[in-house]
Structure 1
Amino acid sequence: MHTMWKGSISFGLVNIPIKLHTATEDKDIKLRTLHKKCHSPVKYEKVCSNCEEELKPEDIVKAYEYTKGKYVVLEDEELENLRKENEEKAVEIIDFVKMSEIDPIYYNRSYFMSPNEGGGKAYSLLRKALQETEKVGLAKIIIRAKEQLAIIRVYDNTLVMETIHYPDEVRKAADVPSVPAEDKVTDKELETAKMLIDQLTTDFEPEKYNDEYRTALLELIESKRTGKEIVTAKEKDPVANVTDLMAALQASIDRTKPEKAEKPKKESAKRKRVATKAKKEA
């Protein structure tokens, strides 16, 4: 597993040399952009909006736009010195909290932590202490020139670092438009909704779920690549146009009931005509 960061975590006088490894991976299918006429890849060049000149890396500087059209230019050396100054600080667990107190909206990215040379015992100590107290460590760390707030917890006997957003990075729920201030539902509607939830409640098994769009896209790509005929996936049953809330809840419950085995359908007349035509042409 690739190491993307090396450093140390400390709590109190205990120092743990560790390595970070990305815990998740993006499996999105990346599509290239081609020129429709000749199918050549399209280049995206950096061009000055004023001079209309194509720019090289050495012609570009970083800047902060503090007001429309006005910038503060930051030199690479200044940014590098600032980054080194912060990276030299110890990554210290500043607090221990209950994980249930952190809303999932704060979570950002996950990293596996492994002990570096000589850190095995301290690693095991922190892992055991977190398990016994049912707490998570709250720490700060510099990753890719950005100071991150993070929690350290145990996952499958491995320490995991979860970077989390700062409070000012999470937008206020009160600013979301059109959210009803009060629950205007009847007791019967609520009971029916709870019945539907109970009917759909199950244990969380991640293996049950997959990215159906990515699977279908890969099948389409492979079918085109090999020149095979592309088949159309079976369409889902149309959703009834139900406007009444009770009727919608009841329809949802009915759709979750086990379906009876269907008898095999007879071959359609259209398929027979296609087969007959193919035999004649052969």
Structure 2
Amino acid sequence: MKATWKGTVSFGDINIPVALYKATEKHARDGSPVRRKRWREEEGRETGRREAARGHRHPDGRRVVLDGEGPVPDKKRIDVLASVDEGSIDPVLFGQAYYVGGTDPAADQWYVLFRDALRQSGHVAVTRVTLGARESLAVLRVHDDLLVLQTVSRPGEVRRPTGIAPRGDITVRPEELKMAMHLMDILSVGFDLDEVHDDHR
């Protein structure tokens, strides 16, 4: 497995050298690479990287173009900001997951110490990390014997589900609810997620 990022986990005075490996993968239907293009909407043409600038669009339509000056985030460090109960983060916020592997056997003791502290506490570590050109929030959590880094959207980035939920005047009878729960129990007997295959593929 090829590492996509190398740096350190910064936890107080402890710095743990690590590498990130994508935990999931997707392929184009024919196996060919997929390329992202930069497109100038006003001119209807593709543009090069040198012509592009980072910016922000306000809700009122105004655009602010950033000139690239100012503090540059450390691209080789995962900063641990806090530890919180795993259940306190809405799963809707979770994004891409990465396996976190150690890169220096001499620092494995610190890796195991940090991993076991998270496991014992039942917490996840809220972190800040720069992946690519964007600084992101992420969490470090324990998965089996590994740490996993998972990007997290900021609450303001999640769209409000206005008008999607069923109308509020629908009532469910107790016996209907009991029947649905019984069906869920039947469907759960012997279920193994590893045995669910992509039949379409």
Do these two structures clear the TM 0.5 threshold for a shared fold by scoring above it? yes
Q: Please, which of 152, 156, 164 is the counterpart of residue 140 of structure 2?
A: 152
Q: Which of the residues 92, 97, 109 maps onto 2:96? A: 109
Pair 1:124 & 2:112 matched? yes
**Contiguous gaps of at least 5 residues in structure 2:** none
Could you give the per-residue CA deviations for residues 88-120 of structure 1, whole angstroms, max 9, x where no partner exists? 685321111221222221110100111122421
What CA distance in whole angstroms lies between the structure 1 residues aligned with 2:153 and 2:30?
27
- Structure 1 residue 65, shift from structure 2 partner: 6.9
Aligned to 1:229: none
**In 1, distance between residues paired with 2:38 and 2:168?**
49
Structure index of larger Rg: 1
Residue 45 of structure 1 deviates from its aligned partner by 11
SS of the aligned residue for 1:176 comes to: coil
CA drift at 1:46: 6.5
Alignment of 1:1-282 (within 5 A): 1-30=1-30, 50=43, 57=48, 60-62=51-53, 64=55, 66=57, 71-74=63-66, 78=68, 85-87=72-74, 90-117=77-104, 118-173=106-161, 175-177=162-164, 179-214=166-201
Asked if structure 2 preserves the Cα contact closer than 8 Å seen for 1:63 and 1:71, the reply is no
CA gap 1:47/1:171 in 2 versus in 1, 3 angstroms: closer
Given that residues 7 and 18 in structure 1 are in contact (C-alpha distance below 8 angstroms), is that contact kept between their aligned partners in structure 2?
yes
Per-residue CA deviations over 1:39-97 (Å, capped at 9, x if unaligned) read: xxxxx9978855x7x7663773336474799755555xx2xx65x71126853211112
Residue type of the partner of 1:61?
A: A
After TM superposition, the structure 1 stretch with the greater mean CA deviation from structure 2, 54-63 or 158-167, is 54-63
Structure 1 position 2, deviation (Å): 1.0
- Look up the equivalent residue of 1:3 and give its one-letter code: A
User: 5+ unaligned residues in a row in structure 1: which ranges?
Assistant: 33-43, 215-282
Q: Partner amino acid for 1:62? A: A
The CA distance in 1 between the partners of 2:124 and 2:167, in whole Å, is: 35
- CA distance, structure 2, for counterparts of residue 109 and residue 8 of structure 1: 19
1:61–1:73 CA contact under 8 A, matched in 2: no
- Which structure is richer in relative contact order (CA contacts within 8 A, separation 6 or more)? 2
Change (3 A) 1:89 1:213: closer
Against the structure 1 CA distance between its residues 28 and 213, is the aligned structure 2 distance closer, same or farther, given a 3 Å change threshold? Answer: farther
Looking at secondary structure, tell me which structure has more helix per residue. 1
Cα distance 1:45–1:22, how it changes in 2: closer, same or farther (>3 A)?
A: closer
**Contact 2:124–2:141 (8 Å) recurs in 1:** yes
Q: Is the 8 A contact 2:137 2:152 kept in 1?
A: yes
CA distance in 2: counterparts of 1:45 and 1:160, whole angstroms: 31
Please report how far the alpha carbon of residue 188 of structure 1 lies from its aligned counterpart in structure 2 after TM superposition. Answer: 2.5
CA RMSD of aligned residues (A): 3.2
Q: Give the residue type in structure 1 aligned to 2:94.
A: Y
Matching residue's letter, 1:206? L
Question: TM (normalized to structure 1)?
Answer: 0.59
Q: Which residue of 2 aligns with 1:38?
A: none
**Structure 1 residue identity aligned to 2:197:** N
